[in-house]
Structure 1
Amino acid sequence: MTPQELLAQDDESYMLADQLAFFRNLLQAERANSQDRITTLRADLAGLEKAPDEVDAALTEQERQTILQSIDREGVSLREIALAIAAVDDGTYGYCADTGEKIGLLRLLSYPRSLITVEAKQHRENRARHLRAA
């Protein structure tokens, strides 16, 4: 099934077996890509050599920190993907974890790891911002 075919389905098809299979495959492909990126980043990290002078050492350290941050981001992505796959498995995928409303195919196609609606995400961000200001 293609994204266009998915979007052409009627509302009664929302998160039935074929749509869940589509998103499971999409999430599994994202997981594989993320794991590949981590492998590449770790190889890049291992390939960094000791710098002979202070300027080169500072640049190498900056590059090392950038790679480590990228690995951390990929780790977060893998955790989000695992949660989304678990939601597919337990039948809650496609429905907002906060409100129970449909997340919607367009949002899920653009961000398959999403477990909440755009509105719920904005509400969480506003609440967090409000708590920080207090």
Structure 2
Amino acid sequence: MIIGEYLQKSKSKIDDLTRSDLYIVTVIILVGFAGFGLGRLSLIEDSKEPVRIEFPEHLSASVLNSGKTTEGTAVPSVVNGLLVASKNGSKYHYPWCSGGKRISEKNKIWFDSAEEARFAGYTPAANCKGLK
């Protein structure tokens, strides 16, 4: 057969289709695309990790104990300090950063500000976001 004959046969078959046939074919194609898209979307949602909020232990303890105070006592807002460094290291961290969590309690040095830590000879840790 020649290409022209195939073209003529396909045109005649398209002319034989009614509106309801075209509607059914269109609906089937759209449902297929929607199903594929929803399947892909479900894979993306499953791969996301949930958000976890972790509080430093010394801050959690002060918040829990703050409800038990009497009028004569005051609870400090931060028990130890805002920044932590190691006696053996040269970097300072936030207590909730990975580097700050790895410092053992006996080697921790606490600072109330970044200026105080810099004055003591420490520099900000690069892996702790927000330190300047």
TM-score (norm 1): 0.26
**Greater fraction of residues in strand:** 2
Structure with bigger gyration radius:
2
Which structure's residues are more often helix, by fraction? 1
Higher relative contact order (CA 8 A, sep 6+): 1
Normalising by structure 2, we get a TM-score of 0.27
